[in-house]
Amino acid sequence: MAKEKMTAAQAVVRALELEGVDYIFGIPGGTILPIYDAMFSSKKLKHVLVRHEQVGAHAAEGYAHATGKVGVCFGTSGPGATNLVTGIADAYMDSVPLVAITANVATSLIGTDGFQEADITGITMPITKHNWLVTHPEDVPRVLKEAFYVARTGRPGPVLVDIPKDVLNMNVDFEYPDEVHIPGYLHEPKEKPRLGDAAQLIRSSTRPIIYLGGGVRTSNGFPEVFEFCELVGAPVVTTVHGKGAFPETHDHCLGMFGMHGARYANYAVQNADLIIALGARFDDRVTGKLSTFAPEAKVVHLDVDPAEISKLVTATVPLVGDLKVLLPQLGAEVKRIFQEKGRPDLAPWWKKVNDWRAKYPLRFKQEGEKYILPQTAVDRIWRKCEGRAIVTTGVGEHQMWAAQFWKVSAPRQFITSGGLGTMGFCLPAAIGIQCARPDALVVGIDGDGSFQMTLQDLATAVDLKLPIKIFILNNLFLGMVRQWQELFYDGRFSETPLSDLPDLVKLAEAYHCLGLRARTLEELDGVIDQALAHRDGPCIVDIRVKRQEKVFPMVPAGAPLHDMIGGD
């Protein structure tokens, strides 16, 4: 590519265009103005003006979740950059490919406590795969090429590029590199995978479980996972990010396990003699007390990140590599050994699993209740969406009810904040998802506490005429915290009741959204139908649910996975 003279700010814009970026989420400010000025004439980039930088980061996450592409967000120096931190940390925990571009004060002011100065590269070092402070304009093209490469390769994650304002105004002979050379960044496995050993374990197992995590999503390995699960014929459990990695409507799928997973799923994991973990990291929300987790199980652990192998649960056979590439190779070995030695008899195991499933189903009883149960609301919305919707959530009780009762049958249809557990994620993510998938039905399940973290960006959704539907399960509590207070703090509801403010219908109307409310079961179906039929911009639905309802089953913190409260 011939060199072209331009400012470093123009080089940023050109690099984004060459990377195939279509949406950027951000807010202009003093130091980042050169980039915004350069972007003004771009015909390829669409910028979404959010009302808070945290929303920009979460919207970029939603975009990345929904597409598998790298999400991009902007922040100006100081508070603009630090407002991105929560979204960057969320992306780091959930392996979301994200490029955050910030501008800093002029190089002469760095380290002087200048106006709106913050050491954003220092602040984000623990929560990014890598970050760069660019002090020479000629480095801009190379750094941005590296940033996108690092964000999307290996285990995906966020990166940050910080460029001082004076550097943005300097000239550069622009030439975008074709390849990336980062000697210290190695993401290819060094050792040959022990596929034969893993296949032998699978052949010898009579009580296997397949455990699917968010790595299935990041690898785009959905067809490979489906073929492997069908071949092995074992029960399948998922994490909250694994939802949709294998159809939850399939008879082999036991759904989500862990702290709020079904009893039958947890019992199956605890009684397994082999766990085949694919793109998962054995976090505390699924293992319970580590020393008591699946005591009789050997472990085949396949993950792209070698740091996750045996970090918490020791792998009998570690398999490091890209799931999309490595899993078909494992499947071929399993098929070969099945043909040579026969398939293991899983019928007794399936009988036990199905007995648990029949005895301990996820259930709720709306009959005889004066108030709408939140489980009823989720179930009704799911049924009326007929499996078409991409659903996103905030964080709290509503998130777990959605994870339990929203059955996902296709990839990238359940998008939430998992590792960091970020309240306020729902609305921003819905904005990013709808931008990425303009023809999709995008539904948010949120709580009244979580929604109020980022509700100001209804203005963004209205400006863009996005037909997102946000259903708020309103119990006038910080519900999950209240649940813990009731169960473990003798009912001392310290600072968890919420006042009935704002009026969510009037709030919606103030933002020129459609606002609806259901207080009774008789009103619920009509309100859902009206919301789903609305296509002229966002719709906010205030569903008044039973205030004291709790999420069951629940594994108390530090308890074994089989030691559950409720759900029996």
Question: What is the tens place of the pLDDT at every residue in 448-485?
Answer: 999 999 999 999 999 999 999 999 999 999 999 999 99
Give pLDDT, residue 184.
Answer: 83
Whether 4-174 and 195-359 share one fold: the answer is yes
Please choose, from the candidates 43, 116, 120, the residue with its C-alpha nearest in 3D space to the C-alpha of residue 84.
Answer: 120
Reported confidence tier of residue 186, pLDDT bands at 50, 70, 90? confident
As a whole number, mean pLDDT of residues 422-429 equals 98
| Residue 116 appears among annotated catalytic residues | yes
Do residues 258 and 553 make contact, with C-beta atoms less than 8 angstroms apart?
A: no
345-354 per-position pLDDT tens digit: 999 999 999 9
> Domain-by-domain residue ranges, the chain?
4-174, 195-359, 374-544
Q: Which of 4, 115, 191, 341 is catalytic?
A: 115
Cα gap 163→12, rounded to integer Å: 10
What is the separation, in whole angstroms, between the first and last Cα of the chain? 66
Q: What percentage of the chain carries pLDDT values higher than 90?
A: 97
Cα gap 548→561, rounded to integer Å: 25
| Residue 399 appears among annotated catalytic residues | no
User: Would the pLDDT of 276 be above 80?
Assistant: yes
User: Would the pLDDT of 1 be above 70?
Assistant: no
Give pLDDT, residue 2.
Answer: 63
Q: Which of 25, 39, 53, 146 is catalytic?
A: 53
402-416 per-position pLDDT tens digit: 999 999 999 999 999
CATH topology for 374-544 is: Rossmann fold (3.40.50)
Q: Is it true that the peptide bond before 28 is cis, omega within 30 degrees of 0?
A: no
Q: Which of 129, 145, 165, 469 is catalytic?
A: 165
The tokens describing 567, both together, are 């759900």
Q: What is the mean pLDDT of the chain?
A: 97
137-174 per-position pLDDT tens digit: 999 999 999 999 999 999 999 999 999 999 999 999 99
| Residue 170 appears among annotated catalytic residues | no
As a whole number, mean pLDDT of residues 192-210 equals 97
| Residue 425 appears among annotated catalytic residues | no
Domain 4-174 CATH superfamily: Thiamin diphosphate (ThDP)-binding fold, Pyr/PP domains (3.40.50.970)
Reported confidence tier of residue 3, pLDDT bands at 50, 70, 90? confident
| Residue 259 appears among annotated catalytic residues | no
484-537 per-position pLDDT tens digit: 999 999 999 999 999 999 999 999 999 999 999 999 999 999 999 999 999 999
In the chain, DSSP finds a helix count (H) and a strand count (E) of 23, 20
CATH number of 195-359: 3.40.50.1220
